[in-house]
Each structure stands twice: as structure tokens, then as C-alpha cells.
Amino acid sequence: MSQTASPACVELLARLVAFDTTSHRSNLPLIHFVRDYLAEYGVEATLVHDVSGEKANLYATIGPADQAGVMLSGHTDTVPVTGQMWNSDPYHLTAKGERLYGRGTADMKGFLAVVLAMVPAMVQADLCVPIHLAFSHDEEVGCLGVRSLIDTMRQYRVRPAACVVGEPTSMRLATAHKGKIAGRIQVRGKACHSGMAPEGVNAIQAAAPLLYWFEETAAQKASRGPYDKRFAIPFTTLQIGTIEGGTALNIVPDACRFDFEIRNVPEDDPEALLAMLRVEVDRLDRCLKQYSPDAGATLEYLGDYPGLSMAEESELVEFVLALLDDPRRERIGFGTEAGLFQQRLGIPTLVCGPGSMAQGHQPDEYVTRDQLLRCETFLRRLIAALADPDAVRRLELACAESIDNFQPA
């Protein structure tokens, strides 16, 4: 067996990296490339477009379509390179020894390239159950695009029995990740000349108690939990990511806006935290209106995705671990689409893919050839397992057990 990633995989990765699929851009050129590539091997793909028609998810099945099978899932969009100092063209795959540099190499076009490189082997195998491919858009901005694909899949008579989302985990199996809620708070004040400050309502200063609430609540979560020590950060976190306010030093600011997020461990209830925050925002809103009828405060929901929580000792976990070289189980701090597949479709889902999120979203993002090779080896073993009737029966029993033991994250 080759001791490095296959030339086909590296070539496909170069093709995928060359598509600028930053979330604010269309992903259709990449999706059409994948559709046409699959067609070369006799695989028909279904495209599920967004309302604008400028983006699409892709779904394809290789093998007997009347069976459940395993879904391999990944997103096609990437984060921007704006403001980052790269030492090479982020949209041209650059090889430097073991490392392959380019935007999305780790997160997560490396996984997509491996999957596509293995399509010929999937087609040639006598699969007992199919392998499904699900490539989505707009994951990086809140796992938005996959939701329309999930709505479409609800209508299918046969759905996948299990799913592996190929986010970068250094090819270690992740059984859980935190959920997320994102929101925006806007505080409205009353502008005036700063020399007459008491006649205005300073929106920035009015927002300060809410900023303090985030600091205090985050500290309470860190000191009191609930804890899940299988995560690197074993408690729910709260943070403010952006803040804007004011126009000039000599004007009392009439507006302040900040965006926040809550990333919860499965044992915590983010909706309860959001309800507590709403109480604080409503209290501030009533207070500000006493000074000016146009002043106030509002909380706007921006989006969310659920956490993932799979039993670490389940038969499905053991089935997948047997296909990997690393026996470790992980819980990851970043979010994925896995929780949506698990909770909205009832598909037992795990996360495992090449590369590390330590390189994702960074300048000079890279994936190593060894990581791609490890992923290729995993998929070769998966293909062989899905062509083995005895292994398929074990998989079917494992999936049935996982569904029976399903606990919402």
C-alpha cells in the first residue's frame, strides 16, 4: 500500500481548493464539478438549491438504493481569507513536503477530496448497502444550508442508517460536540452634544450591565458547571464576539450593538440561559424608555445548531473504531452538522476526518499527506465492510441500538 496520499486525492484537493467557496459566494461551480465527476462513474446526484438559486447541497447514492447504508457528509463552504497574511495563494494548493497548503484543506475539502477519490472503488465494490454522499453549503455561517437537504431527506422512503461527518479530528473518532446559540443585542439611546451629556441617553454605557452579565454568567459556568470533563473546555461558554457603537467622541452615542454566542455542553440548557438574558434585556428596555420613548433594548436571534451526543460505548462507535488506526474517542469543542442529522433525522452520527481544526480558519491552513492517507485507509475499510454481509448485519444491529438509546444532546 502507498505510504502517502494517492495522486488522485491530491489532484482532487487541488481542484476543490481552486474554487473560492467563501460562504458569501456561490458554491455552484464546485457543486457542478462534483456532479459531473460523479456522472463519469455513473452516479447520479440530486441538487437541493437555496431560495436564491446561487447555492446548492448535493446528495448521491452509490450502491443499492433500497437499503439504508452509511452517509459521508461534509460542507463545501470555507471561511474568508480577508485580513490574513498567507505565504502562498490560498486558492492554489501548495505542497511543501508533507504539508498541503490552501484554504479549506483542513476544514474540510481534504475530506471531500478523499471521498471523491474513493468513488471508483465504491462503484466497483459489490456493496450490500449503499454509501450516500451529502455535500452542503453555508455550514460556516450557522449550519444553514444543510437544513434544506434534511427537509428533502425527510421525504425519502429510505434514509441512511448512520452518518460520518468528516470535520477535521486528526482521524480520531468524535462522539460529541457542544451546541450553539447566537444572538444580537441592540441598545438604542438618545444622541446629543457631549457637552450636554445629561440630556442624552448613552447607549454604550447603557449596554454595560448586559456586558457584565455575560462576564458574570460565563464565570459562574466555569466555576459551577455543569461539567463534562470529556471536553477540553468542560463547561458551557458565553462570549461577545463583536461590538459597535458611537460615531464621534463629542456625540453621546444613540446606538450600541453586540453579537454574542452560547456554546453549551450537552448537560446544560442553552434555552434557559437565553431566557435569563431576555429578562435582563427587557429590564433594560423598560428602564431606558423612562428617559426617552425612542430608547430601548432588543434581543435578536441569529441562529443555532444542536449539540451532538452519542453513547461512547455503543456498538456503532465500536464498529467505526474497528475501521480506524486510532482507538481514542474524543469530544470536540467546535460545532458541526452532525447534531442536526442526529436530532432532526434520527440518524446516529459520528465525526471523523483528516486534518486538525488547529489549522482550520488560520492563515497558511494545511492538511498533511499522512492525514489524507489515513482517511483513504478508513474509507477503503468501510467499503470492504459494507460489501461483507456479516459486517453489514453488525452495522444494522449497531444502528438499531444507537437509535433505541438515542438521547437528545
Q: Which residues are catalytic?
A: 77, 139
What's the length of the chain? 409
Q: 377: number of CA atoms within 13 Å, CB side?
A: 19
CB 117 within 8 A of CB 9: yes
Rg, Å, the chain Cα set: 24
Question: Residue 152, Cβ neighbours under 10 Å: how many?
Answer: 13
Q: Would strands 162-165 and 349-351 be described as parallel, antiparallel, or unpaired?
A: parallel
**Separation between Cα atoms, residue 388 and residue 399, nearest integer Å:** 16
Q: 356: number of CA atoms within 13 Å, CB side?
A: 7
CB 166 within 8 A of CB 375: yes
From the list 259, 48, 79, 28, the residue with the least C-alpha distance to 154 is 48
Q: What proportions of the chain, in percent to the nearest 5, are helix, strand and coil?
A: 35, 25, 40
**Separation between Cα atoms, residue 271 and residue 288, nearest integer Å:** 26
**Separation between Cα atoms, residue 364 and residue 87, nearest integer Å:** 7
Q: Which residue has the cell 496520499?
A: 5
SS3 at position 72: strand
Question: Residue 267, Cβ neighbours under 10 Å: how many?
Answer: 14
Q: How many helices (H) and strands (E) does the chain have?
A: 11, 16
Q: Would strands 173-177 and 329-332 be described as parallel, antiparallel, or unpaired?
A: parallel
**Separation between Cα atoms, residue 165 and residue 248, nearest integer Å:** 47
What type of residue sits at position 234?
Answer: P
